[in-house]
A and B are shown apart, each in its own frame.
Chain A
Amino acid sequence: MTRSARRTRRTLQVAGAGAAALLALSACSSSGSDSGSADSGSSASSASSSPELSGTVTVFAAASLKESFTTLGKEFEKDHPGTEVTFNFGGSDTLAASITSGAPADVFAAASAKTMKIVTDAGDASGTPATFVRNQLEIATLPGNPDKIASLKDLTKSGLKVVLCDKTVPCGAAAQTALEASGLKLTPVSYEQDVKSALTKVELKEADAAVVYRTDVQAAGDKVEGVDFPESAEAVNDYPIALLKDAPNADAAQAFITLVKSAEGQKVLAEAGFMKP
């Protein structure tokens, strides 16, 4: 009898501790969502009463947009005091996957129509995505181009260490298209997981050349030298941008997209090496 009483008491204690832990957990999560809804609520109310924008805009953008979007984000925050633009830069496919699995984002800017399609097919975009820039491939060589690379064909020379992006990521698919268009067969030393790591291999002088975007060559400054090749015209990447359906801060997000498409935004993007759509 005493034993069973003790047992009950202990069970109760444990159950209590468990319940407390659960409460603490749910308190955390509810406070998180509370602050989130408070944010969007205040931004919605302020948007209806006055055109003032506020709150955080979360932009998921392709890695190649890092430099120009960071600049545009600062400009946006200056134009609209009280707003904050936070970025998540990464491979377009990874970003698309996190958006379709419910990551809280306002804007998605992809490096290819194919990756944007993943988001629109899932019904996560609001409206039709618009192409805001285009990007072209370029060969990145070591500074001073010691291997005298002048064309895509030169990359097939034996003894040359070339890195390409993997076929599963946009820059790799584009490179593949350009190579096929010119009927060349190129065996790289590595298929890199994204364009930045392909470029890094050249910057660290581990590879002699990489096929990357013109914007990446531009961003790398004098650490690499860019070589244009005519076949790149066969594989131009369109960059679409879209407002997301579940955007927590849709008004400010729309304003950011307008800035990206404006003459001012296009100037910043052109400086980074992007072409007009």
Chain B
Amino acid sequence: MTTPGRTTAEHTAADTLEGGPRRGRVRPGGRRGVPLPLLVPALAGLAFLLLPLIALLVRAPWRDLPEQLTGGEVWQALRLSLLCATAATALSLVVGVPLAWLLARTEFPGRGLVRALVTLPLVLPPVVGGVALLLALGRNGVVGQWLDSWFGITLPFTTAGVVLAETFVAMPFLVISVEGTLRAADPRYEEAAQTLGASRFTAFRRVTLPLIAPGVAAGSVLAWARALGEFGATITFAGNFPGRTQTMPLAVYLALQNDPAAAIALSLVLLAVSIAVLAGLRDRWMTAS
């Protein structure tokens, strides 16, 4: 590459034109470099997202951290959070993927309206979602009163209630993400499978599902992350009792009331665990495709 007699300027120009070796340096304005009008807002966006997290780390009570985190309630809350978020993601997968398929692959009157309704929990303040769940599934709710009198099941104030509240808030993320992947996936593969004799369900199971696996994985991760951080619907529908319904976000909120240092410590734990899990999942699933 290095030809004696060429000047440095010629050298750089040649490298740029040939897409030659980068020297770990962004070249604004270069033909292959990152254009400044994209780079500047991108970096601003990144800084905006990271700044609060950095502030959390800077102001964290590092010295008292071991003390803050030795309480049994912290690990109890963390365990419950992970358990409930995972259960909520599983529940979302079981009903959400078929729902996404229905929205993407079938024609029925009012489909646009149904799609809008599915995304409703995204715009609804979670606390309102919690109240709505109480009115629907509470002991005195529209459906809940029958659950109570026929089966003796009451959902508020139980761990199952936490899972339901989190599913309500998190499932739309999964449905939207899977539906988008389904729309992008070529339906001719399914049609080919069907012309070869597969039933529509077999085609879904053997052809569609493997095809959209990355989208399902991405949707699950989104839903899981949303469920893990869920606060409003959970505290409204399931209440707050340590070990039964007190997840990490609830513990953080209540700690914030009289001990901000403890709240920061708890937030750090939740943050560390989420980053560990999300990074692990990304490496394993989402780049494999």
Contacts and interface: CB of A to CB of B under 8 A. Distances in A.
A197 B131 CA distance: 10
Contacts of A6: 29
A97 B241 contact: no
B255 interface: yes
B106 interface: no
Nearest to B158: A189
A11 B139 contact: no
Interface residues of A, number: 30
B104 interface: no
Contact of A190 (B37, B138, B139, B157): B157
Given A14-B36, A204-B138, A190 B257 contact: no
B132 to A, nearest CB: 11
A261 to B, nearest CB: 28
Contact of B140 (A163, A190, A192, A204): A204
A260 to B, nearest CB: 25
A201 interface: yes
B254 A166 contact: yes
Contacts of A276: none
A190 B240 CA distance: 5
Contacts of B256: 93, 97
B146 to A, nearest CB: 15
A168 B240 contact: no
Contacts of B36: 10-11, 14
A7 to B, nearest CB: 4
A129 interface: no
Contacts, number: 80
B240 A166 contact: yes
Nearest to B140: A205
Contacts of A7: 28-29
Nearest to B33: A7
B281 to A, nearest CB: 31
B40 interface: yes
A134 interface: no
A10 B29 contact: yes
Which of B13, B40, B135, B257 has most A Cβ within 10 Å? B257
Interface string A73-88: 0000000000000000
Contacts of A200: 131
Given A10-B36, A169-B257, A191 B241 contact: yes
Contacts of B28: 7, 10-11
A206 B156 CA distance: 7
A145 interface: no
Contacts of B131: 200, 204
B235 interface: yes
B40 A193 contact: no
Given A7-B28, A205-B139, A206-B139, A93 B239 contact: no
B75 interface: no
Contacts of A94: 257
Interface in B231-289: 235-236, 238-242, 245-246, 250, 253-260
Interface in A171-188: 188
4 nearest CB pairs, A to B? A190-B239, A7-B29, A168-B257, A205-B140
Given A3-B29, A7-B29, A207-B157, 12 more contacts: A18-B40, A161-B157, A166-B240, A166-B254, A168-B259, A188-B241, A189-B157, A190-B241, A192-B239, A193-B235, A201-B239, A204-B140
26 contacts: A7-B28, A7-B29, A10-B29, A11-B36, A17-B37, A94-B257, A166-B240, A166-B254, A166-B257, A168-B254, A168-B258, A188-B241, A189-B157, A189-B241, A190-B238, A190-B239, A191-B240, A191-B254, A192-B235, A193-B235, A197-B235, A197-B236, A204-B131, A204-B134, A205-B139, A207-B157
Interface of B: 13, 28-29, 36-37, 40, 131, 134-135, 138-140, 156-157, 235-236, 238-242, 245-246, 250, 253-260
Interface of A: 3, 6-7, 10-11, 14, 17-18, 91, 93-94, 97, 161, 163, 166, 168-169, 188-193, 197, 200-201, 204-207
